[in-house]
Structure formats: structure tokens, C-alpha cells
Chains A and B, each alone.
Chain A
């Protein structure tokens, strides 16, 4: 028994020693682990599970709104360094604003060299990934996009009431594949390419901010009196959403 313990202890010592030697060779880490933390706001007012349903907001066009439900999907997050090297993270991110445990994204392959990066990701799923019924977790969340509209998955479900100061009416701002005509569909994902430089010097959490108000703002000022529901089969509304999402995201603070 003594011999066994000696062997185990010795081997542990050997392993520890070699790690220490490695550490001494470099001044700072050459590699860093990165994670993402998503925050949500309405033009500067933080929105989370506590106030999603209680905050009353006004959109660009002037409709007074109460929000009920916001869920969205992004995929293919990648960091690109100054040399153009790309670090693509596995998986996709499904966020439900009612569930704050979904705000963070810790990819499995999260190790990258330290350096300067920009962030790029796909709003929704691109053509390759948007496979009808392929993701059990998204199916279980009833996140599917109807086959008659091209199938695959929702990119966004944003439900609420507008004109709550006068005559409240429902809106369902849902985004996914666009139907051109019966049986003819057009991909509707968006490439979100954020220009802000992200300097990674150590293990880091990158905050990605969503400004919900931007869905109604730029370049299309959204008139909820006209475009409220149903919007899923409405080609023009779907393409306007694809345009408006481009200004929704921004880089926030980098914690490292």
C-alpha cells in the first residue's frame, strides 16, 4: 500500500512540476477562454425578467407598448482577429428574456489566442443550419417555423400589446424564413458584424447588448397600426425585420 501511495504522490509531483515550468516560460497567457453575456435594453432602460412585462415603452413611430414575451436565436458566433483569422464557436444561442439563465453563452471550444478581435454572428440560422426539426431543444421549446412558410425555426418571437394608452391590441413580431409565394421561400437570416474592437488579454466575458427598440426603428420606422399580426406570412414585413435587426446589437463591456 505504501508503495502505491508513494507512486501516486510522486506522479502528481512530477505533473505539477512540469506545469510550473511551463508557466515560468511566459509572462502572460497566450491563450484565453472567452464567454458571452447578453444584456437587453429599450433605448437605455435595462430589460430583464423582472420588468419585461411591466415596462411601458414607446416605439419610434409613437405607439405605446407593453411587452409580453421576447425569445430569439443566434448562431455561428465567431471572433475575427486583425490578421483575418476566424475563431468559430460551436453551437447556437436561444435566449428567452423571461429566463435569465439563458442570457449567457459559454461555447465548448472557447479557447482563443489573446489579441484584438471583432465579433460576428448569424441572426437566426443560415441556410445550412436552418433544418426543419433538427434540434430537439428548440423543438421542445416549440420554436419551429411552419413548413408552409419554409420550415426551420423562428429567429425571433416578440409578442406584446400596442396602443396600450388608448385601445390595446396584440402584435406578434415574429421573424424567420420569408415566403415569396406558395412553395417559394427566401432565406431571411442576417449577418451581424459588429465593428467594435475587442481586446482580449486574459479569460474574458464579452457583453453583447440588444436594443429592443431598434427592431422598430432603423431603417424602417415600424407602424404597429399597420403591421401588427399576422406578420409571419407577410413577405415585406419579414424583409423589413431582416433590415432592422442589423442595428439591434452592439458590443458592451469586456470583463477580464
Chain B
């Protein structure tokens, strides 16, 4: 009897608490609609769940706001450049020139990074040199960078506050209260996390929906063969379809460094010349290649690893036979490797209407 009484009392207490929560929710008129990421099967089958910050869940309203901000030149000082100016959908959100040119006509010194599958960057370190921790923090920087948008967040916030549409969009996404740079970058990060690419020919091959050509098959073998390409230690494999380890490596581009990369960020000389491995997805759309866009074609990239390696004190030991410039692939293996790499490109990603302005 006593136990029954206790259960009833506990249930009553819980019910009472639940009612209280409901009342709170009713008061919050701008409750945004949850919009969890649509995780592709080849990701859910093989790799860990994406990284979504607990204080910035994906919502319909947040994503819509982020998309509008991403394509809006209002972020730049003279209203001429948006994020999309240097991160173009048709280039897998990268840019065509080696160095993108900012609002004052000044070029940067790194190639614009493509944007896709960023929620699966488990270490959450962004930019070629990893200087931003979290996508939200990454999004802060281009606005104030003097050779990019050359603006201040105070100006941006004021413009957004005075805009006919933004105030209500911010309220819908984040509740009432002033517009802030934190809310703006949270929204941009939400939109960027929806930029998922997982529908290449090779993805469909993994799902049993496409067949590789003999050249692509051999190219995969070159990629996975420690005695030939040995690409997989840094660039994923069929069981890691991100096609990057998102780690920092010195891949033998230079004997001395004009750009210290990760070393500039950490201050550790052992990190000099190290840059984050980019994904090999969508290479068909993301030329030029490397952190400084020095290679215009995939052939040049493959030739670099095959014959062009430069030794330096921080070179990654995975750059085999550096004393001979590389592993010297045959012409056939080079051509097949290129064919395989191109099978990782996903035209449906760059044509996705949800990702266009």
C-alpha cells in the first residue's frame, strides 16, 4: 500500500513538472522548428555522427536565415561581396582564382576552401591552418578581415537591425532580443552544415547502384596501395567516405616555407608548413588545388606526389621516397588514379536548388 502511494505521488510530481515545462514553451512564441541534418546512408553506415554544438541546434528558421546571410553582400563594408562571392555553389563553394580578391581589390594568400560535409570535421578546426575552433567562430572572421569583407560586426549588426526582413527572421530563429554577431554566425553555421555531399558515382558504387570502370577500379587500387599512391593514410578510404582525415600535414610542397600554416597558429616550429588535408570530393569543381592554389590541374597534383616532393624538416614521413621526389607512378597508374579521383565528384551537390541563391 505504501509503495503504491509512493508511485502515485511520484507520478503526480512528474506530471506537475511536465505541465510547468509546457507552460514555459507556450510563452516562447518564437520556438524555432527543429531541422535535424539529413545524414546520408553511406555516412550513417560507416562513420561517426556529425558535430552539432549543443547551443546551436539546426532549425528551419536558423538555416533559412543563414542561407540569406550567406548570399547577402550586406556583410561586406561596401555591400559588394557575400560569402558566396568566394564560395561559389558551382565550385563546391570554392573559388576559381588562385587567390580570391576582397572588396578593396586586394588578393588573399590562400585558396578559398570548399564547403561541404563540415559537420563531420570531428576536431572542429577550420581554415587551412586550423586557426578557428568551430564553424561558428570561423564565420566571424571573413567579415572583419581587411583583405576580404573589410567590415566590422557593429556595422553589420546595425544594418541587419535596420533591414526590413532580418529582424523578424532573427526573432523566428533565435527568439526575441537584439541581433548579435553570435546569432548571425550561428545561422550561417547552420546553413553551412546542411551543405552535404554524398552522391558521387563512388558513393553510388558503395551503395551498389553504380559500377566503376576498370580504370576507376585500378585508380582505387593505386590510391589504396602503400607501394604506389598511398593516398589513403591522409585522404580517407571506402570505409571513410569523407575522403579526408581533416588533420594537418606537410605534404612536401616546399623546401622552405613562405607560409608557415599550422606553425603560425601554434607557434611550434614542428608544425611549420603543415596544412589541413582537404577532402578529395568534388575535385572536378574545386581547381586550383593546394592551400595556395599553385596547381591548376589534377595532373599537376598527381605529378607533385609522384615526382615533385620537396624535403624539409617537418615533412610528413608518409611522403615516401622523398629523396627521389616521390614514388614515380607509371603513366597508366596516374591516369587511372585521376579517373578514380573524379568518381568522387558529386554534380548533384553543386546543382542542389536548396544550396543556390
Contacts and interface: CB of A to CB of B under 8 A. Distances in A.
Between B13, B318, B323, the greatest number of chain A beta carbons within 10 A of the residue's beta carbon is seen for B318
Nearest to B49: A136
B258 interface: no
Given A148-B225, A233-B227, A142 B12 contact: no
A211 B122 CA distance: 30
Interface string B24-54: 0000000000000000000000111000000
A229 B321 CA distance: 8
A232 B239 contact: no
A74 B114 CA distance: 36
Contacts of B237: 142, 144, 146
Contacts of A116: none
Interface in B94-125: 120, 122
A8 B317 contact: no
A54 B320 CA distance: 21
A182 to B, nearest CB: 11
B299 interface: no
A210 interface: no
A83 interface: no
B6 A7 contact: yes
Interface string B223-239: 01111001011101111
A159 B318 contact: yes
Contacts of B239: 132-133, 139, 144
A139 B322 contact: no
Contacts of B311: 168
B319 A136 contact: no
A12 to B, nearest CB: 11
Nearest to A98: B247
Interface of chain A: mostly helix, strand, loop or mixed: mixed
Interface in A144-172: 144, 146-148, 157, 159-161, 167-172
B320 A230 contact: yes
B164 interface: no
Contacts of A231: 226
A4 B8 CA distance: 9
Given A54-B270, A132-B239, A159-B318, A140 B47 contact: yes
A229 B48 contact: no
Given A4-B13, A54-B270, A146-B225, A68 B46 contact: no
Contact of A170 (B48, B240, B245, B318): B318
A167 B120 CA distance: 39
B205 to A, nearest CB: 14
Given A4-B12, A229-B226, A140 B240 contact: yes
A144 B240 contact: yes
Contact of A142 (B13, B227, B233, B323): B233
Contacts of A139: 46-47, 239-240
A253 interface: no
A30 interface: no
Contacts of A157: 233
A11 B6 contact: yes
Nearest to B277: A142
B240 A8 contact: no
A4 B12 CA distance: 9
Nearest to A147: B224
B265 to A, nearest CB: 16
Interface in B205-243: 221, 224-227, 230, 232-234, 236-240, 242
Contacts of B6: 7-8, 11
B236 A68 contact: no
Contacts of A53: 270
A233 B311 CA distance: 25
Contacts of A20: none
Contacts of A148: 221, 224-225
A167 B239 CA distance: 36
23 contacts: A4-B9, A7-B5, A8-B10, A11-B6, A54-B270, A69-B317, A133-B46, A133-B238, A139-B46, A140-B120, A140-B240, A142-B233, A148-B221, A159-B317, A159-B318, A170-B315, A170-B316, A170-B320, A172-B226, A230-B227, A231-B226, A233-B226, A233-B227
Q: Which 4 A-B pairs have the closest CB atoms?
A: A170-B317, A133-B239, A230-B226, A159-B317
